[in-house]
Amino acid sequence: MLDRPKAVELPWFTGKSAWDAYKALDVACVYAVGPSAGRPVMFGWTQRPLSRFESYAEGYWDDLVLHEITWAPDKALAKRLVDEMRRLMHLKNRGLRDRWFDVTSDFVLPLFQVAGDNLKIPTFTHDALIERVAEMAERKVRAKMG
């Protein structure tokens, strides 16, 4: 069992203004998690990645790692992206059980890209999310200072 999911180890936000800016963005992440061995992989989306990954740590049979995370502008687009990824996997007969797929972790990033391109959904990296949040929080602080 994993004590701290890898997503928790990603850089997150410091301070209330940054968390408020994050919530105001209304973005959602698309992720792939799986055993550290790299197979199988589960795809999903959430607007609350920290609590989602912590819940995975409590209920799975093996050490789970975050293989990939990307961000979509909103939850509707994140859901569409995940649905497309799952559709593509089922077309290749890679479905296992529920949301699990028989692919290796090195297949995940290209799958994210193909699904996003198919649907023309703009995505951005976790680092870009951190930058956006920092800029919004800084603007908010400057506006308060006058």
Per the structure, the count of domains in the chain is 1
Confirm whether 66 is domain-assigned. yes
pLDDT at 4 over 70: no
Provide the percentage of residues in the chain whose pLDDT is more than 90.
Answer: 42
CB 71 within 8 A of CB 27: yes
3-state SS assignment for residue 65: strand
pLDDT tens digits, one per residue of 96-142:
887 889 988 888 889 999 999 999 999 999 999 999 998 888 887 77
The helix or strand, by DSSP H or E, that contains position 109, with its residue range, turns out to be helix 108-119
pLDDT at 2 over 50: no
CB atoms within 10 A of CB 132: 16
CA-wise closest residue to 84 among 113, 47, 41? 113
Peptide bond into 110 cis (omega under 30): no
- What is the average pLDDT across 36-62? 81
Confirm whether 106 is domain-assigned. yes
pLDDT at 22 over 60: yes
Query: Could you give the maximum distance between any two Cα atoms of the chain, in Å?
Result: 58
Domain span holding position 127: 6-139
CB 39 within 8 A of CB 107: no
Confirm whether 52 is domain-assigned. yes
Confirm whether 77 is domain-assigned. yes
d(CA 113, CA 121): 10
pLDDT at 1 over 50: no
Confirm whether 145 is domain-assigned. no
Confirm whether 1 is domain-assigned. no
d(CA 44, CA 84): 11
Predicted TM-score (pTM) of the model is 0.85
Confirm whether 144 is domain-assigned. no
Cα three-residue angle 72-133-115, rounded to 5 degrees: 15
Confirm whether 146 is domain-assigned. no
